[in-house]
């Protein structure tokens, strides 16, 4: 499926909130800019400028979505050499200063929706900041150290990775700090850390830490877990750097990193060790990883090559047949950060090297909602060419029906079947009570999905059919029929669900190229 990329840039330039000390904050005067419009026809990527006050120290941004899928970004700006925090408030980005003479922020949210940030104060010193009302309150984690990552445990206490320069005899090494009323600092790796490298921290369901990192002198990516009071370390891959670590729903570890070459690689943990895969055959750097609710990996990364050879900002997701790669926008970029919203749509913050700007991109879909009475009606979604015809007496009372196109990479895995870019969720609630609604027993709706030959690709056309997701597997809708002349798939199911048009390729997929270490 050929994707249409849309570009809309908000006005940049957010005013600086002046102030120093332990308590900084207060929203700045924000630029009231027109909100990015949803795509008129078809889903697509929308872009916005968060702040145009960047420099080479601004390459490290940090993105988190809150419970309402609102993006929050921590980043560095030139003016005041400051770490700033911004939130998208409808039509404008609201920003405030967290600390001056500071770089490298990493953002996390607690269970109450309050932000916490770890960053490096010039010196360097590893600093922790927490939003308290309208102000930021900061605390020093360790002197002569640089912050690497932050995670919050089940009690919302911060856990921080930091590295301290110098040999082990003077306290150098990678450290893990836990807030217990003071900072309990443990040594993960006692090596001479002359230069900053990649650090990534994840907590499992028991709040046990998992750490991915690389040591520049050893030119390798390592993985460490805390067993009792001892850190157990293993090598994931040689010639790697800048790992990004995520745990899946079973607590197993997944990571991406830049292999020297350079190219982005993905690694996941199995009983016998680590299995690695190259994501993109083209040069690629600074990958960021997220897993959707079905544990499918998604990766945002940059092509470092200049125009016209390079591809700029790119996005990849993994299917049963391999990695699907999309070129989002040609722009010289650095340090993309990735988060998935409640629908599985990707959101990315990144540094625009050409224009010294912090930017934000997200995949926008067009929901269609309609009120359907007992007399029936029609819901038509132009964006994904889907029509729902709801006959008279399908429902026993008036309902509100919502059709939501889904980002293809965030749909449940389809085993040996292949999607063609048409996946959507159909829900209904009773208008009066708001309770979930389904068609009455014995009643059906007609679902018609149109597709193009380009979307169909390698799928054998007469195998196309509508499938529903039952929570564990894709189930063939027995009434599904394909009209190869009209390029439509039609079915008359008796229930609403997550749906997808899937088909067979009659091909045998060879195993992905893998390496175990």
Assigned token pair, 299 = 């990766």
With respect to residue 223, please indicate whether it lies within any of the assigned structural domains.
Answer: yes
Q: What pLDDT, on a 0 to 100 scale, did the predictor assign at position 261?
A: 85
Q: What pLDDT, on a 0 to 100 scale, did the predictor assign at position 102?
A: 96
Query: Which of 302, 334, 364 delimits the end of a domain?
Result: 364
Beta strands (DSSP E) in 394-497 are 399-405, 418-430, 446-450, 465-469, 474-476, 481-483, 488-491
Distances (CA, A) of 137 to 324, 352, 413: 43, 30, 44
Q: What pLDDT, on a 0 to 100 scale, did the predictor assign at position 23?
A: 39
**Domain span at residue 39?**
23-364
Domains held by the chain: number: 2
Instruction: Give the span between the Cα atoms of 141 and 124, in whole angstroms.
Output: 11
Q: What pLDDT, on a 0 to 100 scale, did the predictor assign at position 510?
A: 46
Asked whether residue 246 falls in the same domain as residue 134, the answer is yes
Asked whether residue 377 falls in the same domain as residue 324, the answer is no
Q: How many residues does the chain have?
A: 517
DSSP string for 310-346 = ---EEEEEEETTEEEEEEEE---EEEEEEEE-TTS-E
State the pTM of this model.
0.86
Asked whether residue 266 falls in the same domain as residue 375, the answer is no
CATH number of the domain within which 393 lies: 2.60.220.30
Q: What pLDDT, on a 0 to 100 scale, did the predictor assign at position 42?
A: 54
Burial class (CB in 10 A: 0-12, 13-18, 19+), 345: buried
Q: What pLDDT, on a 0 to 100 scale, did the predictor assign at position 474?
A: 95
Q: What pLDDT, on a 0 to 100 scale, did the predictor assign at position 24?
A: 40
Pairing between strand 220-227 and 230-238? Answer: antiparallel
Phi-psi region of 50 (alpha: psi -120 to 50; beta: other; left: phi over 0): alpha
With respect to residue 56, please indicate whether it lies within any of the assigned structural domains.
Answer: yes
With respect to residue 2, please indicate whether it lies within any of the assigned structural domains.
Answer: no
Asked whether residue 301 falls in the same domain as residue 408, the answer is no
Q: Which residues of the chain have pLDDT under 50?
A: 1-25, 28-41, 508-517
Query: Which of 326, 344, 364 delimits the end of a domain?
Result: 364
Q: What pLDDT, on a 0 to 100 scale, did the predictor assign at position 512?
A: 46
Instruction: Give the span between the Cα atoms of 100 and 413, in whole angstroms.
Output: 46
Asked whether residue 290 falls in the same domain as residue 377, the answer is no
Q: What pLDDT, on a 0 to 100 scale, did the predictor assign at position 379?
A: 97
Q: What pLDDT, on a 0 to 100 scale, did the predictor assign at position 194?
A: 55
Instruction: Give the span between the Cα atoms of 273 and 493, in whole angstroms.
Output: 44
């Amino acid at each position: 499926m050929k994707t249409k990329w849309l570009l809309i840039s908000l006005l940049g330039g957010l005013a600086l909130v002046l102030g120093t000390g332990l308590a900084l904050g207060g929203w700045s005067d924000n630029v009231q800019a027109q909100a990015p419009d949803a795509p008129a026809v078809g889903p697509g990527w929308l872009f916005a400028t968060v702040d145009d006050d960047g420099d080479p120290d601004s390459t490290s941004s940090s993105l988190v979505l809150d419970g309402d899928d609102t993006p929050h970004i921590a980043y560095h700006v030139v003016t005041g050499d400051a770490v700033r925090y911004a939130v998208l408030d409808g039509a404008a980005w609201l920003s405030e200063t967290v600390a001056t003479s500071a770089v490298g922020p990493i953002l996390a949210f607690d269970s109450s929706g309050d932000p916490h940030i770890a960053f490096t104060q010039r010196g360097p010193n590893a600093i922790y900041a927490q939003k308290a009302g309208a102000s930021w309150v900061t605390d020093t984690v360790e002197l002569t150290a640089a912050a690497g990552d932050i995670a919050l445990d089940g009690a919302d206490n911060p856990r921080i990775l930091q590295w301290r320069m110098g040999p082990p005899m003077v306290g150098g090494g990678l450290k893990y700090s836990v807030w217990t009323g003071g900072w309990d600092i443990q040594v993960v790796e006692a090596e001479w850390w002359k230069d900053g490298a990649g650090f990534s921290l994840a907590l499992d369901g028991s709040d046990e830490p998992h750490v991915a990192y690389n040591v520049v002198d050893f030119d390798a990516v390592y993985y460490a877990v805390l067993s009792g009071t001892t850190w157990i370390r293993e090598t994931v891959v040689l010639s790697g750097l800048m790992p990004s670590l995520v745990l899946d729903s079973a607590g197993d570890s997944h990571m991406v990193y830049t292999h020297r070459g350079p190219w982005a690689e993905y690694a996941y943990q199995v009983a016998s060790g680590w299995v690695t895969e190259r994501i993109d055959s083209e040069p690629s750097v600074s990958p960021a990883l997220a897993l959707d609710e079905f544990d499918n990996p998604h990766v945002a990364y940059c092509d470092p090559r200049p125009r016209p050879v390079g591809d700029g900002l790119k996005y990849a997701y993994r299917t049963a047949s391999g990695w699907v790669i999309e070129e989002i926008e040609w722009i010289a970029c650095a340090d993309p950060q990735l988060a998935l919203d409640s629908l599985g749509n990707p959101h990315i913050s990144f540094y625009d090297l050409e224009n010294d700007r912090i930017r934000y991109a997200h995949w926008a879909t067009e929901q269609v909602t309609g009120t359907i009475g007992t007399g029936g009606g029609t819901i038509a979604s132009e964006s994904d060419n889907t029509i729902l015809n709801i006959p008279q007496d399908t429902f026993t009372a008036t309902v509100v029906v919502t059709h939501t196109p889904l980002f293809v990479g965030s749909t449940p895995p389809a085993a040996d079947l292949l999607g063609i870019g048409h996946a959507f969720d159909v829900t209904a609630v009773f208008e009066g009570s708001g309770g979930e609604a389904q068609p009455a027993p014995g009643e059906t709706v007609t679902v018609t999905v149109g597709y193009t030959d380009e979307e169909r690709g390698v799928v054998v056309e007469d195998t196309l059919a509508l499938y529903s997701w039952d929570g564990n597997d894709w189930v063939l809708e027995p009434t599904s029929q394909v009209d190869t002349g009209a390029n439509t798939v039609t079915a008359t199911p008796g229930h609403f669900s997550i749906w997808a048009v899937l088909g067979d390729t009659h091909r045998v997929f060879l195993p992905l190229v893998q390496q175990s270490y």
